[in-house]
Structure formats: structure tokens, C-alpha cells
Amino acid sequence: MSTSPVREFRRSLRRVDATSSVVEPAGFDAALADALEEPAVGAPLPFADLSLSDHPVALDPSPRELRAARTGVTGSRLGIADLGTVAVESRGGGDELTALFPERHVVVLRASDVRPDLESAFAWLAEEFDAGRDSLVFETGPSATGDMGALVQGVHGPEAIHVLVVDDE
């Protein structure tokens, strides 16, 4: 019995306390507008047909904007279905910082980029490393700590993650 990878991905996201939604490409702008809490900062999306330019999202923000932003938007080229993991790449547009400073991280990800498990993600990683794209972070659920005597989400990173899956299949 096989489940669709996107369905499993969304179930895993729920398990790690992240939210998600699925939209057709045509519905992307509306869905993103829903997911944003302003002020927002963003890094350019790594997809030719999707852009943040029509949204109230500061690209290349100043440190003050970065610090004040409630939402950070990045595009991801990898989701891991059975873990609820997304990849945040180290790019010149500052994806890493955008994903880390604001309390809410909105991830834009294409359905075709959801891979089943860590093993298949590492197969993808090996190709990426070969291509010289060798700095990234696997992010799974909100930043968390148990060091203060109970589990608290939102430590040095975001306390909420929303993954916007664009159904390109």
C-alpha cells in the first residue's frame, strides 16, 4: 500500500508541530498572502515560475528589518516525507538568516521535490555536493529546547513553521 508522498509529508509535518497547505500553482499568490504575517522578509525563491516580488516581503533586508520581521519566507528544493524535514540552503540571498531570525518560517516547496525518506534525501544530497551546492540545513519542526525544565518551542530559531506545498505534478 502506498500513500502519496505529499500526504505523508504533511502528516509528518503535523507530528513535528509544523503546519502545511497544498495549492495549485495558480493559487500560490493567494495562499502565500494567507500564510504571511507582516512584517515579512524573504530570500528569492529558487523556482523560475514562483516569485515573492508581488508580496509585502522585503528581499535583501536591513538588519533592522530582519530583526523586526514576524515572517521569513524561503524556497526549498527538498522535503522529506517520513520526517517532515525541509532543506534550507546557504545562498547569497540569505535563506539561512531568513529562516532563522523571524518567529515564523514560511517554506515554499514543490510537490515533486518531496522525497520519501532520509536515505533518498542523501542520494539527492550526494548529487548536490557533486554540483558544488554543499551548504544547507535540514530543518525539522520549530526550534526547541528542554534546557529550561520543560519543552519550549522558539529558541534561537522560529517557533512556527508553515510549509506551502505547490502541486506541480
Partner 1 sequence: MSETDAGRLASLVSRARSRAARPDADADRIRRLLAEEGDQIKANTRHFNAERYDRIDEIGAERHERYRTRAREIKADAIERLPELIDRVRESVADNGGTVYIADDAADAREYVAEVSEGADAERVVKSKSMTTEEIDLNEGLEARGLDIWETDLGEFVIQVAEESPSHIVGPSLHKSREEITDLFEAQFDPEESLDSAQALTEFAREYLGERIEAADVGITGANFVLADSGSIALVTNEGNARKCASVPDTHVAVAGVEKIIPSIEELHPFAELIARSATGQAIPQYLSLLSPPVDTPAVDFDSPDEPGFGGSDAERDFHLVLVDNGRTEMREDDDLRETLYCIRCGACANSCANFQSVGGHAFGGETYTGGIATGWEAGVEGLDAAAEFNDLCTGCSRCVNACPVKIDIPWINTVVRDRINRGKDPGLEDVLVDGLVPDAEEPGTPLRKRFFGNFETVAKVGSATAPVSNTIASLTPVRRALDAGLGIDVRRELPAFQRETLVEWAEGRATVDDPERRVVLYPDVYTNYVQPERGKAAVRTLEALGCAVTVPDVGGSGRAPLSQGMIATARDKAERLAADLGDHLDAGRDVVVVEPSALAMVRREYEKLLPAATYERLDDASYEVFEYVYGLLENGAAPDALTAGDGDGVAYHSHCQQRTLGLESHTVAVLEELGYDVLTSDVECCGMAGSFGYKSEYYELSVDVGESLADQFEDTDRTVVASGTSCTDQIEALLATEARHPIRLVAP
Among 26, 48, 131, 148, binds partner 1 (CB under 8 A): 148
Report the alpha-carbon distance of residue 150 to residue 28 in Å, rounded: 37
Tell how strand 160-166 and strand 19-23 pair up. parallel
Report the alpha-carbon distance of residue 126 to residue 133 in Å, rounded: 10
Q: Which is nearer to partner 1, 23 or 163 (CB)?
A: 163
Residue 17 CA neighbour count, 13 Å, CB half: 12
Among 24, 49, 134, 168, binds partner 1 (CB under 8 A): 134
Provide the residue count of the chain.
Answer: 169
Report the alpha-carbon distance of residue 80 to residue 15 in Å, rounded: 13
Q: Which of residues 51-110 bind partner 1 (CB under 8 A)?
A: 60-64, 66-67, 83, 85, 90-92, 94-97, 100
Among 49, 119, 168, 169, binds partner 1 (CB under 8 A): 119
Binding site for partner 1 (CB under 8 A): 60-64, 66-67, 83, 85, 90-92, 94-97, 100, 118-119, 122, 125-126, 129, 134-152, 154-157
